[in-house]
Structure 1
Amino acid sequence: MTRLSVNINKIATLRNSRGGSMPSVVDAAINCQKFGAEGITIHPRPDERHIRRQDVYDIKPHIYTELNIEGYPSEDFIKLVIDVKADQATLVPDKPGQLTSDHGWNTIQEADFLRPIIKTLKEAGIRTSVFVDPDPLMVEGAYRLGADRVELYTEPYASQYMEDAEKAVAPFVEAAKVAKSLGLGINAGHDLNLKNLKYLVDMIPDIDEVSIGHALVADALYLGLHQTIKEYMDCLRP
Protein backbone atom coordinates (compact mmCIF):
# COMPACT_ATOMS: atom_id res chain seq x y z
CA MET A 1 0.00 0.00 0.00
CA THR A 2 1.13 3.55 -0.73
CA ARG A 3 2.51 5.19 2.40
CA LEU A 4 1.31 8.56 3.70
CA SER A 5 3.95 11.06 4.78
CA VAL A 6 2.42 14.14 6.40
CA ASN A 7 4.12 17.45 5.67
CA ILE A 8 3.87 19.53 8.85
CA ASN A 9 5.21 22.80 7.43
CA LYS A 10 1.81 24.49 7.76
CA ILE A 11 1.80 23.71 11.49
CA ALA A 12 5.07 25.63 11.73
CA THR A 13 3.61 28.48 9.65
CA LEU A 14 0.75 28.84 12.13
CA ARG A 15 3.17 28.79 15.06
CA ASN A 16 5.43 31.38 13.49
CA SER A 17 2.52 33.77 12.85
CA ARG A 18 2.35 34.49 16.58
CA GLY A 19 5.81 33.51 17.75
CA GLY A 20 6.28 31.21 20.70
CA SER A 21 5.82 27.46 20.44
CA MET A 22 2.09 26.97 19.84
CA PRO A 23 1.16 24.80 18.02
CA SER A 24 4.10 22.50 18.61
CA VAL A 25 5.63 20.93 15.52
CA VAL A 26 7.06 18.17 17.69
CA ASP A 27 3.60 17.31 19.02
CA ALA A 28 2.26 17.45 15.48
CA ALA A 29 4.85 14.94 14.32
CA ILE A 30 4.16 12.65 17.27
CA ASN A 31 0.40 12.76 16.79
CA CYS A 32 0.47 12.32 13.01
CA GLN A 33 2.40 9.08 13.53
CA LYS A 34 0.17 8.05 16.43
CA PHE A 35 -2.92 8.55 14.24
CA GLY A 36 -1.57 6.37 11.44
CA ALA A 37 0.75 8.42 9.23
CA GLU A 38 3.71 6.39 8.03
CA GLY A 39 6.15 9.25 7.69
CA ILE A 40 6.76 12.91 8.44
CA THR A 41 7.91 15.40 5.81
CA ILE A 42 9.48 18.78 6.54
CA HIS A 43 10.79 21.41 4.15
CA PRO A 44 13.19 23.82 5.87
CA ARG A 45 13.85 26.95 3.82
CA PRO A 46 16.68 29.45 4.29
CA ASP A 47 14.35 32.18 5.61
CA GLU A 48 12.83 29.76 8.17
CA ARG A 49 9.35 31.05 7.38
CA HIS A 50 7.88 27.77 8.58
CA ILE A 51 10.14 24.88 9.65
CA ARG A 52 13.19 26.23 11.44
CA ARG A 53 16.60 24.60 11.51
CA GLN A 54 16.21 23.85 15.21
CA ASP A 55 12.86 22.16 14.52
CA VAL A 56 14.67 19.54 12.47
CA TYR A 57 16.82 18.57 15.45
CA ASP A 58 13.84 18.68 17.81
CA ILE A 59 11.62 16.51 15.61
CA LYS A 60 14.09 13.79 14.63
CA PRO A 61 14.25 11.93 18.00
CA HIS A 62 10.48 11.47 17.90
CA ILE A 63 10.31 9.88 14.46
CA TYR A 64 9.72 6.13 14.55
CA THR A 65 8.32 5.89 11.01
CA GLU A 66 10.38 7.84 8.44
CA LEU A 67 11.67 11.38 8.26
CA ASN A 68 11.68 12.91 4.79
CA ILE A 69 13.47 16.25 4.52
CA GLU A 70 12.87 18.09 1.28
CA GLY A 71 14.54 21.21 -0.01
CA TYR A 72 16.99 22.83 -2.34
CA PRO A 73 20.33 21.01 -1.98
CA SER A 74 22.51 23.86 -0.75
CA GLU A 75 25.57 23.03 1.34
CA ASP A 76 23.66 23.91 4.51
CA PHE A 77 20.74 21.68 3.53
CA ILE A 78 22.97 18.71 2.76
CA LYS A 79 24.84 19.14 6.05
CA LEU A 80 21.56 19.31 7.99
CA VAL A 81 20.11 16.20 6.32
CA ILE A 82 23.26 14.19 7.00
CA ASP A 83 23.65 15.55 10.53
CA VAL A 84 20.21 14.34 11.64
CA LYS A 85 20.43 11.16 9.53
CA ALA A 86 17.15 11.66 7.70
CA ASP A 87 15.63 8.54 6.19
CA GLN A 88 15.03 10.30 2.89
CA ALA A 89 16.13 13.52 1.23
CA THR A 90 13.89 14.91 -1.50
CA LEU A 91 15.75 17.36 -3.71
CA VAL A 92 13.62 20.19 -5.09
CA PRO A 93 14.71 23.06 -7.38
CA ASP A 94 13.22 25.85 -5.26
CA LYS A 95 14.73 29.32 -5.28
CA PRO A 96 15.37 30.73 -1.76
CA GLY A 97 12.30 32.97 -1.64
CA GLN A 98 9.95 30.75 -3.60
CA LEU A 99 6.44 30.46 -2.14
CA THR A 100 6.09 26.77 -2.95
CA SER A 101 7.50 24.19 -5.34
CA ASP A 102 6.19 24.75 -8.86
CA HIS A 103 8.32 22.59 -11.17
CA GLY A 104 10.65 19.63 -11.19
CA TRP A 105 14.35 19.38 -11.94
CA ASN A 106 15.71 19.23 -15.44
CA THR A 107 17.74 16.15 -14.64
CA ILE A 108 19.63 16.39 -17.91
CA GLN A 109 20.70 20.04 -17.81
CA GLU A 110 21.35 19.91 -14.05
CA ALA A 111 23.12 16.54 -14.09
CA ASP A 112 26.58 17.88 -13.21
CA PHE A 113 25.13 19.73 -10.22
CA LEU A 114 22.95 16.92 -8.89
CA ARG A 115 25.16 13.88 -9.41
CA PRO A 116 27.76 14.60 -6.66
CA ILE A 117 25.01 15.64 -4.24
CA ILE A 118 23.14 12.40 -4.72
CA LYS A 119 26.39 10.47 -4.34
CA THR A 120 27.18 12.25 -1.06
CA LEU A 121 23.72 11.56 0.38
CA LYS A 122 23.72 7.93 -0.64
CA GLU A 123 27.17 7.41 0.86
CA ALA A 124 25.68 8.75 4.11
CA GLY A 125 23.00 6.06 3.92
CA ILE A 126 20.17 8.45 3.03
CA ARG A 127 17.62 7.46 0.42
CA THR A 128 17.49 10.16 -2.22
CA SER A 129 14.46 11.25 -4.22
CA VAL A 130 14.50 13.79 -7.05
CA PHE A 131 11.48 16.02 -7.64
CA VAL A 132 10.52 15.82 -11.33
CA ASP A 133 7.75 16.70 -13.72
CA PRO A 134 5.90 13.70 -15.25
CA ASP A 135 8.31 13.49 -18.16
CA PRO A 136 9.90 10.14 -19.00
CA LEU A 137 13.13 11.89 -20.02
CA MET A 138 13.41 13.56 -16.61
CA VAL A 139 12.71 10.23 -14.90
CA GLU A 140 15.42 8.55 -16.97
CA GLY A 141 17.77 11.40 -16.10
CA ALA A 142 17.17 10.88 -12.39
CA TYR A 143 17.98 7.20 -12.83
CA ARG A 144 21.27 8.00 -14.55
CA LEU A 145 22.16 10.34 -11.68
CA GLY A 146 21.89 7.45 -9.23
CA ALA A 147 18.70 8.55 -7.44
CA ASP A 148 16.76 5.95 -5.47
CA ARG A 149 13.37 7.47 -6.23
CA VAL A 150 11.62 10.22 -8.13
CA GLU A 151 8.86 12.36 -6.67
CA LEU A 152 6.33 13.22 -9.33
CA TYR A 153 5.17 16.85 -9.13
CA THR A 154 1.39 16.42 -9.07
CA GLU A 155 0.09 19.99 -9.26
CA PRO A 156 -0.72 19.63 -12.99
CA TYR A 157 -2.72 16.50 -12.20
CA ALA A 158 -4.57 18.19 -9.35
CA SER A 159 -5.42 21.30 -11.37
CA GLN A 160 -6.89 19.26 -14.25
CA TYR A 161 -8.48 16.48 -12.23
CA MET A 162 -12.01 17.89 -11.93
CA GLU A 163 -12.17 18.70 -15.65
CA ASP A 164 -10.81 15.43 -17.04
CA ALA A 165 -9.30 12.97 -14.57
CA GLU A 166 -8.24 10.44 -17.20
CA LYS A 167 -6.39 13.05 -19.24
CA ALA A 168 -4.89 14.58 -16.10
CA VAL A 169 -3.39 11.33 -14.84
CA ALA A 170 -2.15 10.00 -18.19
CA PRO A 171 1.34 11.56 -18.19
CA PHE A 172 1.86 10.44 -14.61
CA VAL A 173 0.96 6.87 -15.50
CA GLU A 174 3.54 6.92 -18.29
CA ALA A 175 6.23 8.48 -16.12
CA ALA A 176 5.57 5.89 -13.40
CA LYS A 177 5.88 3.05 -15.92
CA VAL A 178 9.31 4.34 -16.93
CA ALA A 179 10.37 4.68 -13.29
CA LYS A 180 9.26 1.15 -12.47
CA SER A 181 11.01 -0.28 -15.54
CA LEU A 182 14.25 1.32 -14.33
CA GLY A 183 13.87 0.11 -10.77
CA LEU A 184 13.24 3.58 -9.35
CA GLY A 185 10.91 4.07 -6.42
CA ILE A 186 7.99 6.42 -7.01
CA ASN A 187 6.81 9.20 -4.70
CA ALA A 188 4.21 11.84 -5.49
CA GLY A 189 3.25 15.16 -4.01
CA HIS A 190 1.79 18.64 -4.37
CA ASP A 191 -1.88 19.65 -4.18
CA LEU A 192 -3.09 16.14 -3.48
CA ASN A 193 -6.28 16.04 -1.41
CA LEU A 194 -9.24 13.90 -0.41
CA LYS A 195 -10.92 14.47 -3.78
CA ASN A 196 -8.09 13.50 -6.12
CA LEU A 197 -5.83 11.18 -4.12
CA LYS A 198 -7.65 7.86 -4.48
CA TYR A 199 -7.91 8.08 -8.25
CA LEU A 200 -4.18 8.77 -8.53
CA VAL A 201 -3.13 5.75 -6.49
CA ASP A 202 -5.75 3.54 -8.14
CA MET A 203 -4.30 4.44 -11.53
CA ILE A 204 -0.69 4.19 -10.31
CA PRO A 205 -0.62 1.46 -7.64
CA ASP A 206 3.20 1.43 -7.72
CA ILE A 207 3.45 4.76 -5.89
CA ASP A 208 5.53 4.12 -2.77
CA GLU A 209 4.71 7.31 -0.91
CA VAL A 210 2.63 10.46 -1.11
CA SER A 211 3.64 13.59 0.77
CA ILE A 212 0.69 15.79 1.71
CA GLY A 213 0.64 18.92 3.83
CA HIS A 214 -1.45 21.94 2.90
CA ALA A 215 -4.72 20.17 2.11
CA LEU A 216 -4.37 17.72 4.99
CA VAL A 217 -3.79 20.45 7.57
CA ALA A 218 -6.67 22.47 6.12
CA ASP A 219 -8.98 19.45 6.37
CA ALA A 220 -7.86 18.90 9.95
CA LEU A 221 -9.28 22.30 10.92
CA TYR A 222 -12.76 20.89 10.27
CA LEU A 223 -12.37 17.15 10.75
CA GLY A 224 -9.70 16.98 13.43
CA LEU A 225 -6.22 15.58 12.82
CA HIS A 226 -7.04 12.00 13.78
CA GLN A 227 -10.09 11.72 11.51
CA THR A 228 -8.31 13.53 8.67
CA ILE A 229 -5.37 11.13 8.66
CA LYS A 230 -7.79 8.21 8.77
CA GLU A 231 -9.60 9.53 5.70
CA TYR A 232 -6.37 10.06 3.78
CA MET A 233 -5.23 6.57 4.71
CA ASP A 234 -8.57 5.20 3.49
CA CYS A 235 -7.84 6.77 0.09
CA LEU A 236 -4.63 4.78 -0.09
CA ARG A 237 -6.20 1.40 0.57
CA PRO A 238 -6.98 -0.75 -2.49
Structure 2
Amino acid sequence: MKFEEVVSGSGAQAAEGKVVTVRVHAHNLSGRKITDCYVESFVLGQGQTMPALELLSNGMQVGGKRHAQVSPRYLYPNLTGMKGLLPNQTVILHIELLDCQNVAMDSQMQCTLITEQEVADLFDRWNASLQTKDARKVTDNYSKSAVLLPTVSNVPRTNHGAIEDYFEHFLMKNPVGRIDERHIHMGCNMVQDTGLYTFTLEGGQHVQARYSFIYVLENGHWVISHHHSSMMPEDMSRAH
Protein backbone atom coordinates (compact mmCIF):
# COMPACT_ATOMS: atom_id res chain seq x y z
CA MET A 1 0.00 0.00 0.00
CA LYS A 2 1.70 3.19 -1.16
CA PHE A 3 1.11 6.45 0.68
CA GLU A 4 2.15 10.06 0.38
CA GLU A 5 3.16 12.12 3.41
CA VAL A 6 2.06 15.67 2.72
CA VAL A 7 3.17 17.27 6.02
CA SER A 8 6.25 16.12 7.92
CA GLY A 9 4.84 17.06 11.32
CA SER A 10 6.73 17.63 14.57
CA GLY A 11 6.96 16.32 18.11
CA ALA A 12 6.32 12.74 19.25
CA GLN A 13 6.54 9.94 16.70
CA ALA A 14 3.95 7.17 16.54
CA ALA A 15 5.29 3.67 17.25
CA GLU A 16 3.93 0.35 18.51
CA GLY A 17 2.62 0.52 22.06
CA LYS A 18 1.82 4.24 21.91
CA VAL A 19 -1.65 5.73 22.10
CA VAL A 20 -2.34 7.77 18.98
CA THR A 21 -5.26 10.01 18.07
CA VAL A 22 -5.95 10.58 14.38
CA ARG A 23 -8.41 12.56 12.29
CA VAL A 24 -9.66 10.52 9.31
CA HIS A 25 -11.84 10.82 6.21
CA ALA A 26 -12.05 9.08 2.85
CA HIS A 27 -12.61 10.02 -0.82
CA ASN A 28 -13.45 7.72 -3.69
CA LEU A 29 -11.09 7.40 -6.64
CA SER A 30 -12.91 10.22 -8.43
CA GLY A 31 -12.12 12.61 -5.58
CA ARG A 32 -15.62 12.77 -4.07
CA LYS A 33 -15.72 12.78 -0.26
CA ILE A 34 -17.58 9.66 0.85
CA THR A 35 -17.20 9.67 4.64
CA ASP A 36 -17.54 12.18 7.43
CA CYS A 37 -14.35 13.38 9.07
CA TYR A 38 -14.00 11.61 12.42
CA VAL A 39 -11.46 11.24 15.23
CA GLU A 40 -10.24 7.91 16.62
CA SER A 41 -7.80 6.92 19.37
CA PHE A 42 -6.09 3.51 19.57
CA VAL A 43 -2.90 1.75 20.68
CA LEU A 44 -0.57 1.03 17.77
CA GLY A 45 0.33 -2.60 17.20
CA GLN A 46 -2.62 -4.20 18.99
CA GLY A 47 -5.05 -4.63 16.10
CA GLN A 48 -7.61 -2.28 17.63
CA THR A 49 -8.47 -0.48 14.39
CA MET A 50 -8.48 -1.06 10.65
CA PRO A 51 -5.12 -2.22 9.22
CA ALA A 52 -4.86 0.88 7.00
CA LEU A 53 -4.84 3.21 10.02
CA GLU A 54 -2.20 1.05 11.71
CA LEU A 55 0.04 1.18 8.63
CA LEU A 56 -0.42 4.88 7.90
CA SER A 57 -0.07 6.05 11.51
CA ASN A 58 3.09 4.10 12.31
CA GLY A 59 6.13 6.38 12.12
CA MET A 60 4.14 9.61 11.75
CA GLN A 61 4.85 12.65 13.89
CA VAL A 62 2.23 14.79 15.59
CA GLY A 63 0.85 17.26 13.06
CA GLY A 64 1.78 15.01 10.16
CA LYS A 65 -0.68 14.15 7.38
CA ARG A 66 -0.75 11.18 5.02
CA HIS A 67 -3.05 9.84 2.35
CA ALA A 68 -3.07 6.59 0.45
CA GLN A 69 -5.08 4.56 -2.02
CA VAL A 70 -6.37 1.74 0.17
CA SER A 71 -7.85 -1.55 -1.02
CA PRO A 72 -10.72 -3.21 0.91
CA ARG A 73 -8.43 -5.80 2.52
CA TYR A 74 -6.78 -2.99 4.50
CA LEU A 75 -10.15 -1.56 5.59
CA TYR A 76 -12.26 -4.54 6.54
CA PRO A 77 -13.53 -6.03 8.81
CA ASN A 78 -13.08 -3.01 11.11
CA LEU A 79 -14.84 0.04 9.69
CA THR A 80 -15.38 1.97 12.92
CA GLY A 81 -16.60 5.45 12.03
CA MET A 82 -16.32 4.86 8.26
CA LYS A 83 -20.01 5.13 7.41
CA GLY A 84 -20.64 5.53 3.71
CA LEU A 85 -18.12 2.98 2.43
CA LEU A 86 -19.34 0.21 0.15
CA PRO A 87 -18.18 -3.43 0.20
CA ASN A 88 -15.11 -4.04 -1.99
CA GLN A 89 -14.61 -0.28 -2.40
CA THR A 90 -11.09 1.09 -2.88
CA VAL A 91 -10.72 4.56 -1.33
CA ILE A 92 -8.25 7.37 -0.81
CA LEU A 93 -7.80 7.49 2.97
CA HIS A 94 -6.64 10.78 4.54
CA ILE A 95 -5.30 10.91 8.09
CA GLU A 96 -3.75 13.53 10.37
CA LEU A 97 -1.94 12.58 13.58
CA LEU A 98 -3.34 14.79 16.35
CA ASP A 99 -1.72 13.27 19.43
CA CYS A 100 0.77 10.57 20.46
CA GLN A 101 1.36 9.43 24.04
CA ASN A 102 3.14 6.64 25.87
CA VAL A 103 1.04 4.21 27.87
CA ALA A 104 2.25 4.10 31.45
CA MET A 105 2.97 0.46 32.38
CA ASP A 106 4.71 -1.27 35.28
CA SER A 107 6.91 -3.89 33.64
CA GLN A 108 7.41 -5.73 36.95
CA MET A 109 3.73 -6.61 37.27
CA GLN A 110 2.19 -9.77 35.89
CA CYS A 111 -0.82 -9.44 33.62
CA THR A 112 -4.00 -8.98 35.66
CA LEU A 113 -7.28 -10.28 34.26
CA ILE A 114 -10.30 -8.01 33.97
CA THR A 115 -13.75 -8.87 32.62
CA GLU A 116 -15.80 -6.82 30.17
CA GLN A 117 -18.33 -6.20 32.95
CA GLU A 118 -15.57 -4.81 35.15
CA VAL A 119 -14.52 -2.52 32.29
CA ALA A 120 -18.13 -1.31 32.05
CA ASP A 121 -18.04 -0.75 35.83
CA LEU A 122 -15.02 1.53 35.40
CA PHE A 123 -17.07 3.83 33.19
CA ASP A 124 -19.93 3.69 35.73
CA ARG A 125 -17.44 4.69 38.45
CA TRP A 126 -16.31 7.68 36.37
CA ASN A 127 -19.89 8.63 35.53
CA ALA A 128 -20.91 8.40 39.20
CA SER A 129 -18.04 10.71 40.13
CA LEU A 130 -19.52 13.33 37.79
CA GLN A 131 -22.67 13.27 39.87
CA THR A 132 -20.73 14.30 43.00
CA LYS A 133 -20.06 17.71 41.29
CA ASP A 134 -16.56 17.44 42.80
CA ALA A 135 -13.87 17.92 40.14
CA ARG A 136 -11.19 16.43 42.39
CA LYS A 137 -13.15 13.17 42.79
CA VAL A 138 -13.52 12.95 39.01
CA THR A 139 -9.80 13.61 38.54
CA ASP A 140 -8.97 10.79 40.99
CA ASN A 141 -10.10 8.36 38.27
CA TYR A 142 -7.10 9.40 36.15
CA SER A 143 -3.47 8.30 36.25
CA LYS A 144 -0.95 10.89 37.43
CA SER A 145 0.44 10.87 33.88
CA ALA A 146 -2.95 10.78 32.14
CA VAL A 147 -3.83 12.71 29.00
CA LEU A 148 -7.36 14.06 28.54
CA LEU A 149 -8.47 15.32 25.11
CA PRO A 150 -11.85 16.68 26.20
CA THR A 151 -15.17 17.19 24.45
CA VAL A 152 -15.69 20.91 25.00
CA SER A 153 -12.15 22.29 25.15
CA ASN A 154 -9.42 22.64 22.53
CA VAL A 155 -6.68 22.36 25.18
CA PRO A 156 -5.12 18.90 25.88
CA ARG A 157 -4.99 18.26 29.64
CA THR A 158 -1.76 16.47 30.58
CA ASN A 159 -1.65 16.62 34.40
CA HIS A 160 -4.06 16.39 37.31
CA GLY A 161 -4.25 20.15 37.78
CA ALA A 162 -5.28 20.74 34.17
CA ILE A 163 -7.73 17.81 34.22
CA GLU A 164 -9.33 19.08 37.42
CA ASP A 165 -9.60 22.56 35.92
CA TYR A 166 -11.49 21.15 32.92
CA PHE A 167 -13.97 19.33 35.13
CA GLU A 168 -14.49 22.38 37.34
CA HIS A 169 -16.11 23.97 34.29
CA PHE A 170 -17.69 20.88 32.73
CA LEU A 171 -19.46 19.88 35.95
CA MET A 172 -21.31 23.21 35.93
CA LYS A 173 -23.36 21.69 33.07
CA ASN A 174 -24.54 18.86 35.40
CA PRO A 175 -23.53 16.13 32.91
CA VAL A 176 -24.86 12.57 33.08
CA GLY A 177 -23.27 10.06 30.70
CA ARG A 178 -24.78 7.03 28.94
CA ILE A 179 -22.97 4.49 26.77
CA ASP A 180 -24.68 3.99 23.39
CA GLU A 181 -22.16 1.64 21.77
CA ARG A 182 -18.90 0.19 23.05
CA HIS A 183 -15.98 -1.95 21.87
CA ILE A 184 -13.54 -3.38 24.42
CA HIS A 185 -9.97 -4.50 23.62
CA MET A 186 -7.89 -6.23 26.29
CA GLY A 187 -4.13 -5.99 26.79
CA CYS A 188 -1.64 -6.79 29.54
CA ASN A 189 -2.57 -4.57 32.50
CA MET A 190 -4.27 -2.31 29.97
CA VAL A 191 -7.73 -2.20 28.40
CA GLN A 192 -9.30 0.10 25.82
CA ASP A 193 -13.00 0.97 25.88
CA THR A 194 -14.11 2.88 22.77
CA GLY A 195 -17.44 3.78 21.23
CA LEU A 196 -20.22 6.33 21.42
CA TYR A 197 -21.76 7.98 24.46
CA THR A 198 -24.38 10.64 25.13
CA PHE A 199 -24.32 13.32 27.80
CA THR A 200 -27.52 14.81 29.15
CA LEU A 201 -26.77 18.35 30.31
CA GLU A 202 -28.64 20.87 32.42
CA GLY A 203 -31.82 21.98 30.68
CA GLY A 204 -32.29 18.65 28.93
CA GLN A 205 -29.69 19.17 26.17
CA HIS A 206 -28.25 15.96 24.72
CA VAL A 207 -24.75 15.79 23.24
CA GLN A 208 -23.50 12.63 21.52
CA ALA A 209 -19.77 12.05 21.20
CA ARG A 210 -17.18 9.47 20.26
CA TYR A 211 -15.01 8.32 23.14
CA SER A 212 -11.86 6.34 23.95
CA PHE A 213 -10.88 5.36 27.49
CA ILE A 214 -7.59 3.55 27.99
CA TYR A 215 -7.24 2.12 31.48
CA VAL A 216 -3.99 0.88 33.03
CA LEU A 217 -3.28 -0.94 36.26
CA GLU A 218 -1.47 1.47 38.56
CA ASN A 219 -0.57 0.51 42.13
CA GLY A 220 -3.22 -2.21 42.01
CA HIS A 221 -6.01 0.08 40.79
CA TRP A 222 -7.45 0.55 37.31
CA VAL A 223 -7.14 4.22 36.33
CA ILE A 224 -7.58 6.20 33.13
CA SER A 225 -4.32 6.72 31.24
CA HIS A 226 -5.82 8.30 28.11
CA HIS A 227 -9.29 9.76 27.56
CA HIS A 228 -10.34 11.21 24.24
CA SER A 229 -13.82 12.59 23.55
CA SER A 230 -15.08 14.39 20.44
CA MET A 231 -18.54 15.56 19.48
CA MET A 232 -20.33 13.82 16.63
CA PRO A 233 -20.21 15.85 13.39
CA GLU A 234 -23.95 16.56 13.45
CA ASP A 235 -23.68 17.90 17.03
CA MET A 236 -20.68 20.05 16.03
CA SER A 237 -22.64 21.59 13.16
CA ARG A 238 -25.49 22.47 15.51
CA ALA A 239 -23.06 23.95 18.02
CA HIS A 240 -21.67 26.52 15.52
TM-score (norm 1): 0.28
Q: Specify the structure having the higher radius of gyration (Cα).
A: 2
Looking at secondary structure, tell me which structure has more helix per residue: 1
Q: Comparing both chains, which one has the higher relative contact order based on Cα–Cα distances under 8 Å and sequence gaps of 6 or more?
A: 1
TM-score under structure 2 normalisation?
A: 0.28
